[in-house]
Amino acid sequence: MIRCITFGSVLCFLLAASPAQLFGQWGGDPRMRRAHRERAVAIVGPGARDFVETHGDQAVAAIFACSKPVAVKLAEFHACGELDRLIRPRDLLWVIAQPGNGNDVALWAIYHSNELFDRDAFDAYLLSPMEYAMGLKDIATGAAEARARRLNQAVASRPLTHDEKVGLAGLAGCLAIVGFLYWRRRRQSAMC
């Protein structure tokens, strides 16, 4: 009986809630999104208007994830143009907005922005920002690892040259002939 009641309650909740509420998405009703933007500007102050309008829902999420003083610093970081010098500023804002990141991740990024202008350092930071924010890992080491990953992926995904294709076709042909000869010998020895 309790299982039926629990199942029914969960089912009613799922039917009543919108997908944005269920999955924590910032999409959904435009009026709600506008209200979130206005609330974010009200928290930080009028200086955050350009920040919120330029970076949209990601800026709002980052502001909500941080304390007021850090949210003000984020808006100032945008106002002086440093945020937009990063490769993918909205990705950084989204990482700041993730649960448990907030102030620590935002402050580290603001104070180390010169290091994050490098693509590989930026990618490494986004991969595990709390490790860098807590001083558990050096950004130069992370950048080197990210660079190695990126280069390995580039080599692995490059198309084959004509000579490589011919070589592979030749190797496949040799293997097919050897396989056929092996099969034929086993078949003859089985008949004897």
CB 48 within 8 A of CB 66: no
The structural domains of the chain, with segments of one domain joined by +, span 161-192
For the segment 46-62, the average pLDDT, to the nearest whole number, is 94
- For 95, residues 6+ apart whose C-beta sits below 8 A from its C-beta are 101, 105, 126, 129
Residue 53 confidence (pLDDT) above 60: yes
In this predicted structure, what is the pLDDT of residue 24? 45
Digit-coded pLDDT (tens) for 129-158:
999 999 999 999 999 999 998 888 876 666
Distance CA 61, CA 96 (A): 8
